[in-house]
Amino acid sequence: MSSDANILIVGQGIAGSVLADKLLARGHRVTVVDDGHRTSSTRVAAGMVNPLAGKRLALSPGSDWLLPAARDYFAALEARTGERLFHPLPIRRILRNAQEATQFAKRREDPAYAPYVGEFSPPGSLEGVDDPQGSFTTLGGGYVASGPLLAALRHILREAGALVEAEFRHADLRVEKDAAHWQGRRYGTVVFCEGMRLRDNPWFRDIPTDPVKGEILDLALPGPPPAEVLNKGKWLLPTATGELRLGATYARDRLDMEPTAAGREELLKAFRNIYPQDRGERVTGHVAGVRVCTRDNQPLIGRHQQFPILTLFNGFGSKANSLVPGWAEVFTAYLEGAGTLPSALDPYRT
Ligand SMILES: Cc1cc2nc3c(=O)[nH]c(=O)nc-3n(C[C@H](O)[C@H](O)[C@H](O)COP(=O)(O)OP(=O)(O)OC[C@H]3O[C@@H](n4cnc5c(N)ncnc54)[C@H](O)[C@@H]3O)c2cc1C
């Protein structure tokens, strides 16, 4: 890509926004088109950064550089915008069974996990919480305030004259070998960051994905909220604005943005699994979105086989906040011809 070529980015979720921000910082001319976050899962997500998510309490591949890259990016963006975006919080993992307790004992002995494994608390240490195997705090995590993040980046793009607030129709993009044309302008690279609407993209819709719908409830409690995230399969996240978010479900049917009665019931059951006694909780909100997951839990980053000027930056699953800043940096260098992309991210991998 020559440095004077225009870059078109479709989608202003976390993926398109952070990538655009990095490309602008490198002096590229960027246009981002977005329809007001109509189907954005960033908009609904809780934004958690949890280094030890999942049953195996395992660090994901690349965590050693991806997590610091994410924290550094959000900190730098906070300094530029004056907005509080990343909220560090201990994540208290409530061990659900003997296997998880054994897994925890292993992690505690492993030096690679030392920065992430905090204090163990024996059963009965947490007021009102069912913790038969005890719990421990995961360190180095927290959450990104998704709404303020999107708003801050939208403002940056607007100020740079880089934002087009409109629906992008794929039929309007004229694709040639070395360039694409859209709304009278020539682009040397197009990056699709469309989230779940990858399925509508005529160039990339056949790339295999494993989309998973997720729902989140907002709760109000009469008493003080917990001071840390409580995670017992599902998580309860106290936000800086006083809301309590409870999530999330995983469902592979009805891949739309409609909250469901079944999702609500599943989440309230999970709340009761954490707090067996009535806490006087009240549901104040309920949202849903679709995660673009992949079978190997790696994102989809690379070029179209037939039209290499068309590229994909998607597939961040349930870890966008941990993955996007680091991979956006790598992808920026790649687009500048300064690096390669790991084959593990190739959209056409089998
Ligand atoms: C319930 C739930 C909870 C989650 N919790 C977490 C979490 O705790 N931590 C975490 O890291 N991740 C979480 N995720 C995952 C995370 O939200 C996603 O991986 C991430 O938001 C994807 O970002 P994106 O930019 O790829 O897509 P999106 O945020 O979906 O952005 C795509 C954008 O493109 C726009 N767009 C698409 N097509 C067009 C078009 N044709 N024209 C114009 N605009 C278009 C959309 O409207 C949208 O604004 C969660 C997801 C869900 C659903």
- For the chain, the domains span 6-46+147-208+296-345, 89-141+210-291
Nearest CA to ligand 1 atom 30: 40
| Distance from residue 118's CA to the centre of ligand 1 (Å) | 31
Dihedral of alpha carbons 157, 158, 160, 165, sign:
positive
| Distance from residue 39's CA to the centre of ligand 1 (Å) | 7
Residue 8 CB partners (closer than 8 Å, separation 6+):
30, 31, 33, 180, 182, 185, 187, 189, 190, 191
Q: β-strand 6-10 against 29-34: which pairing, if any? A: parallel
| Distance from residue 65's CA to the centre of ligand 1 (Å) | 23
What DSSP element (H or E) covers 214?
Answer: strand 212-220
CA angle 298, 196, 198 (to 5 degrees): 80
Separation between Cα atoms, residue 347 and residue 311, nearest integer Å: 10
Separation between Cα atoms, residue 293 and residue 305, nearest integer Å: 21
Q: Considering the domain 89-141+210-291 in this protein, what is its CATH number? A: 3.30.9.10
Paired with 88 in beta bridges are 142
Give Dmax (Cα) for the chain: 66
Each residue's pLDDT expressed in tens, for the chain with a length of 350 residues: 544 479 999 999 999 999 999 999 999 999 999 999 999 999 999 999 999 988 899 999 999 999 999 999 999 999 999 999 999 999 999 999 999 999 999 999 999 999 999 999 999 999 999 999 999 999 999 999 999 999 999 999 999 999 999 999 999 999 999 999 999 999 999 999 999 999 999 999 999 999 999 999 999 999 888 999 999 999 999 999 888 999 999 999 999 999 999 999 999 999 999 999 999 999 999 999 999 999 999 999 999 999 999 999 999 999 999 999 999 999 999 999 998 999 999 999 98
Q: Give how far Cα 284 sits from Cα of 98, 146, 216, Å.
A: 35, 18, 11
CATH class for the domain made up of 6-46+147-208+296-345 = alpha beta
Separation between Cα atoms, residue 263 and residue 275, nearest integer Å: 18
Q: In 73-83, which positions are buried (b, 16+ CB within 10 angstroms) versus exposed (e)?
A: bbeebbeebee
Terminal Cα distance for the chain, rounded? 27
Fold matches, 6-46+147-208+296-345 and 89-141+210-291: no
Structure tokens at 74: 């959000």
| Distance from residue 19's CA to the centre of ligand 1 (Å) | 14
Q: β-strand 142-144 against 48-49: which pairing, if any? A: antiparallel
* Ligand 1 surroundings by CB, under 6 angstroms: 10-16, 33-35, 37-42, 44-48, 167-168, 193-197, 214-216, 247-248, 289-291, 314, 316-322
315-324 pLDDT, tens digit per residue, is 999 999 999 9
